[in-house]
Structure 1
Amino acid sequence: MSEHQHPGEDCVDFLERIVYLLDNELDEADCSAVRLHLDECSPCLEKYDLQRTVKAVVARSCSEAAPRELRERVMLRIREVQVRITEG
């Protein structure tokens, strides 16, 4: 068993649960288990930090409004596709 494995569980199990931890979808027992693993496993902690950073960037990006010109081009393209479907 390597230094970042626990009996019966390996990093793959924890990496899957990291996403749920970030989304607050784990019960307290699972949160504790994942946090304990992250305290002991640098590779998993790095992946956790990367996932957390990506989630924060995406969340920040989703709150920004697109420039007016871009919105207008997208709406025009949607209308063009709708017309083609209707005429199709």
Structure 2
Amino acid sequence: MSCGEPHDTECSEILDHLYEFLDKEMPDSDCVKFEHHFEECSPCLEKYGLEQAVKKLVKRCCGQDDVPGDLRAKVMGRLDLIRSGQSVPDHEVSAAPSAPQDS
């Protein structure tokens, strides 16, 4: 998505890191950059508002549910793989990444 206007920060970068902004998982300097972008880019502001509304709805409707320990472990394992830059298989990921096996 792009509004077609030039920005200091590209729309694609904003949208790629939107959830980090929503979850307050980025440095303040980056947050300021996002806020400035939203002031001048209505399509990104609209996308931000939509994602913020969905996040609030999910929290309200599902925020009280207990997450099974094995599911949490699988999700955390997948996040660790993504953060380390490893490819993530489309099928189920085990709770702990297994060591490479010799053939």
Name the TM-score, length of structure 1 as normaliser: 0.63
Cα distance in 2 between the residues matched to 1:63 and 1:17: 23
Note the residue ranges of structure 1 that are not aligned, 5 or more in a row: 66-88
Structure of larger gyration radius: 1
Structure 2 spans left out of the alignment, 5+ residues: 66-103
Q: How many residues are matched?
A: 62
Query: What is the aligned partner in structure 1 of residue 7 from structure 2?
Result: 6
User: Separation in 1 of the partners of 2:27 and 2:47?
Assistant: 21
- CA–CA distance in structure 1, aligned partners of residues 51 and 60 of structure 2: 14
The alignment's C-alpha RMSD in Å is 1.6
CA distance in 2, matches of 1:50, 1:63: 19
What letter is aligned with 2:7? H
Alignment of 1:56-67 (within 5 A): 56-63=56-63
Q: Which has the higher contact order (CA 8 A, sep 6+)?
A: 1
Please give the alpha-carbon distance, in whole angstroms, between the structure 1 residues aligned to 2:29 and 2:22: 15
- In the alignment, is the contact (CA less than 8 A) between 1:15 and 1:44 conserved in 2? yes
TM (norm. structure 2) is 0.55
Distance 1:10 1:48 in 2: 15
Percent of residue pairs bearing the same amino acid type? 40
Deviation of the 1:64 alpha carbon? 5.2
